[in-house]
Amino acid sequence: MAASDAQQFLKDLDKKLWTAADKLRSNLDAAVYKHAVLGLIFLKYVSDSFELRQRDIESQLRDPDHDYYLDPADYDAADYESTIADELEVRDYYLEQNVFWVPALARWKTIQRSAPLAAGTEITVKNGTSRQYKITSIGKLIDDALAEVEKENPKLKGVLNKNYTQLQLPAESLIGLINLIAEIPFQHESLDAKDILGHVYEYFLGQFALAEGKKGGQYYTPKSIVSLVVEMLEPFKGRVYDPAMGSGGFFVSSEKFIQQHGGKIGDVSVYGQESNPTTWRLAAMNMAIRGIDFYFGKQPANSFTSDAHPDLRANYVMANPPFNMKEWWDGRLEGDPRWEHGDPPKGNANFGWLQHMLYHLAPKGSMALLLANGSMSSNTKGEGDIRAGVVKADLVECMVALPGQLFTNTQIPACIWFLTKTKQKRGRGKTAFRDRAGEVLFIDARKLGYMVDRVLRAFTDEDTEKIVSTFHAWKRGKDAYEDVPGFCKSATLDEIEEHGFVLTPGRYVGAEELADDGIPFVDKMATLTAELADQFAESAKLEKAIRVNMKALGFELSITAGKE
């Protein structure tokens, strides 16, 4: 099936699921409801992955040509089927394929079958051995199922949000939600189950960010921005770090980028940190859904005061922290070794984030940081000195000014800082970087993008390609790059110093060149002057007619010209 058909399939699925889920929400706040939905989506995914692997194992156990084959001739008929059933409950078969072991209570068939049963009903749960489980409520059933998944998979310890018992969601709505998620089709010619469910998960994150407004946007970076950053940095191999990871969007996009370019996700190790407990769990579930190994610290924590990865030096660092964060300073941060270029203002974390990321960057590493536009020009409380120090150290590689209305949570104009520890020539072939020492690329992308709706803007694929190709051409070959007035400019450190170390791209790219229509200026001016005279004459006629009409109605029109 064509890619366009697959996209239409996903689009139709999105609309159907969100519309139905939103109807089931009742009066529950979106900030709470998202965990009910995303937790069940996660449970459905790990259960489906388990069952798919289970079917593969059974096929292999019955296949004479496979190493796992069990010969029926060695068993009585009843014993043979019993042995097959026992083998299907052996954990090693699943772990060897990086499939989460899902206890019987947490398997989707058990959840869906048991949800409508009355409180007090006992069900038989069998994972090799049988046991009885008494249903007290649907919420308790889901909480217990999630607890068992955590217990059996140490990687998920403390990750899953086990609070369905406390949700103010009517039983019929929770049953409806379970039945709705059960309808997610995991069979498609062009997509596997992981792609489908991963897409649904990402779509729901975006929709909840819109539903929650500013609060929801704190953990969600728009897809077009994430894709832009990842395609510019190209994180093929090494350690990838996000100290303000939210729901893990940069990691997910990195995985997609690697797969699209023929790489292996195993070549990348993912490190992140997040202070919000519920968002930290969302990120971990987001990684687990996609089979990405992750290192997010033992618990949610503040990246500034409780750095979960103090010795990490990452090859790529990407982050979209809260803009202009005021309440961030702690006395313990005084004289911190991360503040190599100066102490950040205590009332604004922008340059705290920037220096924290630089501190964790490997000697040949690159990073991208989204910040408010003010970071490019502000001189408040030492910010200008820090910026100057970073520029003089030749760490700034590229500055991208973004259009407005890209974010669900803020209308503050934003930019992307691209920094690197080295601009020296390295690599071979088409992916080699030229020596860019003493140069900085400025890109003004404020005119790009389209309105998705009345309030939200996004980049088209063509917009992303324009920015990415410009950056890569500049990095890889001077001959392949040229300045474009109004869009991009390669500037020297001396030029930047002449501008007082202000990094706003508009200062450097200049005005867009207007197309030459071949008409001499003198002729254009004569034509415009004649048009203006005609308009003045038409205005005088109109004024005269209005005065006549006003007088006929018994009014006098009095206009007094203003004086400067």
pLDDT of residue 217: 45
Rounded CA-CA distance 211/408 in Å is 9
User: Of 212 and 5, which is predicted with more confidence?
Assistant: 5
Work out whether strand 488-492 and strand 238-242 pair parallel, antiparallel, or are unpaired.
Answer: unpaired
| Residue (of 232, 548, 549, 248) closest to 397 by Cα position | 232
Instruction: Name the residue ranges covered by the structural domains of the chain.
Output: 3-199, 213-509, 519-564
| Residue (of 206, 196, 181, 169) closest to 41 by Cα position | 181
Q: What is the pLDDT of residues 544-554, one digit of tens each?
A: 888 888 787 77
| Residue (of 195, 193, 190, 204) closest to 40 by Cα position | 204
Sign of the dihedral through C-alpha 386, 390, 391, 393: positive
Answer whether residue 173 shows pLDDT above 60: yes
In the structure encoding, which two tokens stand for residue 416, read together? 């992307």
* Amino acid at position 35, single letter: H
Are 228 and 459 within 8 A, CB to CB?
Answer: yes
Residues of the chain with pLDDT > 70, as a percent, come to 92
Are 351 and 385 within 8 A, CB to CB?
Answer: no
Residue 310 makes CB contacts below 8 A (sequence gap 6+) with none
Q: Which fold has domain 3-199?
A: Ferritin (1.20.1260)
β-sheet bridge partners, residue 443: 400, 488
Q: What is the pLDDT of residues 7-24, one digit of tens each?
A: 788 888 888 888 878 877
Query: Taking all residues of the chain, what is their mean pLDDT, rounded to a whole number?
Result: 86
Q: Of 286-300, 321-335, 461-475, give the lowest mean pLDDT range.
A: 286-300
Q: How many CA atoms lie within 13 A of 447 on its CB side?
A: 10
Q: What is the pLDDT of residues 454-494, one digit of tens each?
A: 878 889 999 999 999 999 999 988 678 999 999 999 999 99
Radius of gyration of the chain (CA): 30
* Amino acid at position 265, single letter: I
pLDDT of residue 562: 43
Average pLDDT score over residue span 278-294: 82
Could you tell me where the DSSP H helices lie in 437-553? Answer: 461-476, 493-498, 506-509, 521-552
| C-alpha dihedral (158, 160, 166, 171), degrees to nearest 10 | -160
Average pLDDT score over residue span 49-58: 92
Q: What is the pLDDT of residues 251-280, one digit of tens each?
A: 888 887 787 767 777 788 999 999 988 788
Answer whether residue 376 shows pLDDT above 80: yes
Instruction: Kindly indicate the confidence band of residue 409, based on its pLDDT and cuts at 50, 70 and 90.
Output: low
Residue 78 makes CB contacts below 8 A (sequence gap 6+) with none
Which of the residue ranges 43-47, 468-472, 511-515, 538-542 has the most confident prediction, judged by mean pLDDT? 468-472
Rounded CA-CA distance 400/386 in Å is 19
What SS3 class is residue 36? helix
* Cα distance from N-terminal residue to C-terminal residue, the chain: 70
Average pLDDT score over residue span 214-225: 63
pLDDT of residue 188: 72
Intrachain domains 3-199 and 213-509 with the same fold: no
Instruction: Kindly indicate the confidence band of residue 172, based on its pLDDT and cuts at 50, 70 and 90.
Output: confident
* Residue 305 burial (C-beta neighbours within 10 Å; 0-12, 13-18, 19+): middle
Residue 154 makes CB contacts below 8 A (sequence gap 6+) with none
Residue 273 makes CB contacts below 8 A (sequence gap 6+) with 242, 243, 244, 245, 296, 297, 301, 303, 307, 308, 309
Residue 458 makes CB contacts below 8 A (sequence gap 6+) with 222, 223, 224, 406, 449, 450, 452
Average pLDDT score over residue span 498-507: 96
User: Count of CB atoms within 10 A of residue 411's CB?
Assistant: 10
User: Of 61 and 27, which is predicted with more confidence?
Assistant: 61
* Residue 534 burial (C-beta neighbours within 10 Å; 0-12, 13-18, 19+): exposed
Q: What is the pLDDT of residues 81-123, one digit of tens each?
A: 999 999 999 999 998 888 889 999 999 999 999 999 988 999 9
* Amino acid at position 248, single letter: G
Answer whether residue 1 shows pLDDT above 50: no
pLDDT of residue 561: 46
Q: Of 319-328, 432-441, 474-483, give the lowest mean pLDDT range.
A: 474-483
User: Of 419 and 561, which is predicted with more confidence?
Assistant: 419
* Amino acid at position 429, single letter: G
Could you say which of 1.20.120.430, 3.90.1150.10, 3.30.465.10, 3.40.50.150 is the CATH number of the domain covering 213-509? 3.40.50.150
User: Of 542 and 65, which is predicted with more confidence?
Assistant: 65
Containing 392, the helix (H) or strand (E) segment is helix 383-392
* pTM attached to this predicted model: 0.78
DSSP symbol at 388: H
Instruction: Kindly indicate the confidence band of residue 212, based on its pLDDT and cuts at 50, 70 and 90.
Output: low
pLDDT of residue 447: 93
